Structure 1
Amino acid sequence: MTYTIPQISPPPKVGANEAILVASGDLRLSANQVCWAAQQEMEEKVIAAFAREGITVRRGHAYDPVEKHGFISSQRMGMNVFKNIDPDAPLIVAEAVWQYSHHVLAGLRAHRGPILTVANWSGQWPGLVGMLNLNGSLTKAGVRYSTIWSENFDDAFFIDGIRQWIKTGQIVHPLTHVRRLNADALPAAERELGEALAAQLRHEKAILGVFDEGCMGMHNAIIDDELINPAGMYKERLSQSALVAAMRTVSDSEARAVYDWLLGKGMQFRLGTNPETDLTEDQVLDQCRMYIAAVRIADEFGCDAIGIQYQQGLKDMTPASDLAEGLLNNVERPPVHHAHTGAVLYEGRALPHFNEVDECAGVDALVTNRVWTAMGFDPATTLHDLRWGEQYGENYVWV
């Protein structure tokens, strides 16, 4: 019998003073197009900085004149790009934008050469968040890499860092500020409280309601069941299609009641008439429907916290989920009634929400809620991104 044996063509080797640059992007075409100018500007500065050190950096994939951007925009595209990259080449992953880590994770897992992730220190687009998301995914996957960031790519911190990477294949950052927790040094009352809350969590257990786990490509945001279950936390895997379906059962009067509650509390909405460029009243009412639907689904499945990721699927069906997410995280929020019994759900309590189905943020939000509640503090939490910071007067402000 004759078999068809596949033939693999090895990619060309890079030169001694060369490096390859790749850029993972969003899955959404519009985001990639809008953010491309900032990415291009950043890449030019990074390439120029390496050129001054005698290293020629060339892109591992071309600008697409049809798509009008130069990002890797899907997992399959990433696989196709990496099969043509020398696996031993020095590799730079440059990010000035939010990106989907799974676009490049397959290629980076198999890459043997030194990897450097780079982000621009800018508040324009969330490049830092994109890079840190990729870093977290690489760490979870056991991939060795180095990382660096800069505002203009000409400062001593950045230049010294890339020189170290060029010479040794890695950047070593100081870690003197990091230390192990010494449980014996904790105040007795707070240690007793923490141990009691942990014991309660393991005994009574908690459910994290996860709407479409992992569909934003955040490998780092998925905590394996074998790791999270021993702490007493379990997942209820939910579908965003069920959330949309539940929104359709919310009456106009129920949505209006939530909106009126917010107005009565003094919340202001800068409304317009163009749904493409303005926030409209209909969009606000749809977010109120989502808020009610999310609470009802959480109650149906006995969830102690829930996570919604808006970017894929929901973006084609509903307005952004920010208002609903923010309301869920507060004790003082519009009442939501059971659809049949009329009972107020989660009365007097926040329903912790973890943004973008980041289960790490979900664990943090749940634990924070219980600790702060037990200590008599307001347990309201906020979203999980810290995107950028800058000196503002006498203070350094994180955004």
Structure 2
Amino acid sequence: MSKRTPSEKPTIYLAASGDMRPAANETCWPAQALLEKALGRCLSKLGYSLKRAHPYKSAEKHGFISSQKEGLEVFRQIDPAAPLIIAEAVWQYSHHVLPGLTTHRGPILTLANWSGQWPGLVGMLNLNGSLTKAGIKYSTLWSEDFTDDFFLRHLKTWLEKGAIRHITSHTRSLDKVDVPARPARLGEELARELMEKKAIMGVFDEGCMGMYNA
């Protein structure tokens, strides 16, 4: 790997996991392109350069990683110690990038736009769940337009320290919550009934859309 000259900005790599359906990737690509452009501007202002870890595919009209095999090939070309952002403006299949992330040693940031157009935030949360289940350290961040103070402040922290810690003082462990008697009893009865009588439930498995977090 070539050394950076003093005048060059430090490089942050970006990967974008997508759908397995070509039509979905093509349709949603404009939103992803806008996200990456906005992120690139933010990083440039902070003194960094954003580089895609895989190219835009002209024949397919999108720049997403669209299969597990493609993801493996992409990660073979990424410096395992480099800072890496997984940016999502769309629904994505986590198994496209999860295998490569299991051995990535550099700081990992999952990032999504806050938009109702396509489920990028949901796609990011699916990847977050998969990373958590796999025991992979990562930070996560989101924004509506990538200009708000919350986003910029935390992005700067990740760039400088390699990790972000969000405020979680509003959360409590359930065993420390005084649950009222009636809902507590109902919950126990439902749990006992499900254990004894079973039920068919719509639960996804790990092979569905690459949801390792299932």
- Would you say same fold, with TM above 0.5? yes
**Considering only CA atoms, is the larger Rg found in Structure 1 or Structure 2?**
1
Name the counterpart of 2:63: 70
- Which deviates further from its counterpart, 194-203 or 95-104? 194-203
- Deviation, 1:198, is 2.0
Q: Distance in 1 between matches of 2:207 and 2:122?
A: 17
- Deviation, 1:200, is 2.6
Deviation string 1:31-50 (CA, Å, 9 cap, x unpaired) is 11111111111101101101
Name the counterpart of 1:121: 114
- Which aligned pairs between 1:1-399 and structure 2 lie closer than 5 A? 12=1, 15=4, 17-182=10-175, 185-208=178-201, 214-221=207-214
Deviation string 1:327-374 (CA, Å, 9 cap, x unpaired) is xxxxxxxxxxxxxxxxxxxxxxxxxxxxxxxxxxxxxxxxxxxxxxxx
- Deviation, 1:213, is 5.8
Contact map agreement 2:205 2:211 (CA 8 A) in 1: no
Q: Distance in 1 between matches of 2:30 and 2:3?
A: 28
Structure 2 unaligned segments of length 5 or more: list them.
Answer: none
Q: How many residues align?
A: 210
State the SS of the aligned residue for 2:171: coil
TM-aligned CA distance change 1:132 to 1:13, over 3 Å: farther
Structure 1 unaligned segments of length 5 or more: list them.
Answer: 1-11, 222-399
Q: Distance in 2 between matches of 1:133 and 1:121?
A: 15
Q: Distance in 1 between matches of 2:10 and 2:195?
A: 54
- Deviation, 1:183, is 6.4
TM-aligned CA distance change 1:212 to 1:18, over 3 Å: closer
TM-aligned CA distance change 1:210 to 1:179, over 3 Å: closer
Q: Distance in 2 between matches of 1:130 and 1:184?
A: 31
State the SS of the aligned residue for 1:173: coil
Contact map agreement 2:12 2:84 (CA 8 A) in 1: yes
Q: CA RMSD in A?
A: 1.9
Deviation string 1:173-212 (CA, Å, 9 cap, x unpaired) is 1001110124672222332232232223223333447687
Contact map agreement 2:206 2:213 (CA 8 A) in 1: no
By relative contact order (CA 8 Å, sep 6+), the higher-ranking structure is: 2
State the SS of the aligned residue for 1:57: strand
Percentage identity across paired residues of the two chains: 58
What letter is aligned with 2:104?
A: H
State the SS of the aligned residue for 2:213: helix
Contact map agreement 1:25 1:71 (CA 8 A) in 2: yes
- Deviation, 1:127, is 0.8
